[in-house]
Amino acid sequence: MHSQAHTGSYYAATVNAPTDYPPLDGDQRTDVCIIGAGFTGISTGLFLAERGYQVCIVEANKVGWGASGRNGGQLIHGIPGEKVIARKLGKDIEEVFGELRWAGHAIIRERVEKYSIDCDLKFGYLDVASKPRHLRAFEIDQRRLQAARFPHELRLLNAADTAELVGSDVYVGGLVNMGNGHLHPLNLCIGEARAAESLGAKIHEQTPAERIVHGPKPQVVTASGTITADAVVLAGNAYHLLENKLRGSMFPVNSYIIATEPLADDVVARLNPRDLAICDQNFAVQYFRMSADKRLLFGGRASYFGHDPDVIKRSHVPKMLKIYPQLQGARIDYAWGGTIGVPVNRVPQLGRTGDNVYYCQGYSGHGVNTTHLAGRIMADAVAGTLEHFDMFANVRPVIVPGAYRLRRPLVSLAMLYYRLRDRL
């Protein structure tokens, strides 16, 4: 594995301060070694550092290099696979997940305030419906949240009201949810890394982990040194390569984003007057929002696996223009992609490959919120509190034989199937 710089994203171009943590050099001893400096690894490390643990985080590339630093920046409530977990527990979904759905939001709010993290955090979200069945799902969601005394604005919209907020008449309705929101994910991840560092955590970039030596004191081996720890946390998500027994448990689904040039104030006022993050309900999802400097960030999933900006633009610009034909001719300044880890059963995968080697991965596109909750759960597990950890770990990953080697053609076939289903 060769270390890589950040992708050519809008986020990397507008980072508050780039990170420059030194590669590991020599042998170290620590309480907890975390492999991966995305949201899962950094969130776990910060929770542990706050509790007084010595923490060392190794990252093959840069802090937030993967999906954590290049996603749509949409802060969405909910945990993938809720129904599967509740069924396994024999409990009602609301009983299990009523508060947990929003825990990641609360963690992010608290950290942004506590550590003065500048990440353009703003609340306001709009789910949009392309079909009447999407509206029926919104009605169910609204009733569920109202029954739980949801404290934020929650409003069903007809087609006309939706068009007013979206600046487009392509949707049949929507659901405004002011409890969800959007942010600059790379600045959040780096801000949390700085917070962990301020509490004594050590971070080593450009340090790919090559293997784990299991034992009473597991050892993480890299090309430039080793880290011996009381516990190891694997937080590689879709880029995880270390533990063979976990291969075939997730599919890598690619998502791509384009960013326009900064738009005039009057254009922004027509396209998105309330500055909402917007997302449709299709499996081949499309999502978009305005950046802090008034660019339209427009993203969606695809079966394409490359990262050529010109190909991404050719794919996404026509989709954007179907919603916003008024942006014909707008310059596209950035185009990039990343990989989402999607488990077969959609349940985030928390577990162990040994008594003191933990793993946490697979968020199916809900990573900004769920990774922050996962960080707390992993820190609890390391500290010996396993209630929430076991809730996920007891749902064993579904392994598809041969899926690791055939993951790209299988994902392409799945995308074709779901695109056809979206059209029905």
Residue 352: Cβ-neighbour burial (10 angstroms; 0-12, 13-18, 19+): middle
d(CA 185, CA 22) in angstroms, rounded, equals: 22
Residue 206 tokens read as 């450009």
pLDDT value of position 344: 82
d(CA 225, CA 25) in angstroms, rounded, equals: 6
Domain spans, the chain: 10-70+186-249+345-404
Radius of gyration, alpha carbons of the chain:
21
Specify whether the CB–CB gap between 332 and 351 falls below 8 A. Answer: no
> What are the residue ranges in the chain where pLDDT is below 70?
1-2, 238-241, 302-305, 400-424
pLDDT value of position 305: 61
Q: Is the pTM of this model over 0.75?
A: yes
Quick: pLDDT tens for 175-202.
999 999 999 999 999 999 999 999 999 9
- CATH number belonging to domain 10-70+186-249+345-404: 3.50.50.60
Q: Which residue has the tokens 């384009």?
A: 258
Type of residue numbered 160: A
Q: Which residue has the tokens 């779901």?
A: 418
Residue count of the chain, please give it.
424
What SS3 state is found at 180?
strand
225-234 and 357-361 strand pairing: parallel
Specify whether the CB–CB gap between 33 and 227 falls below 8 A. Answer: yes
Give whole-number Cα distances, 65 to 39, 42, 62, 210, in Å.
10, 12, 5, 18
Region for 270 from its dihedrals, namely left if φ exceeds 0, alpha if ψ lies in -120 to 50, beta otherwise:
alpha
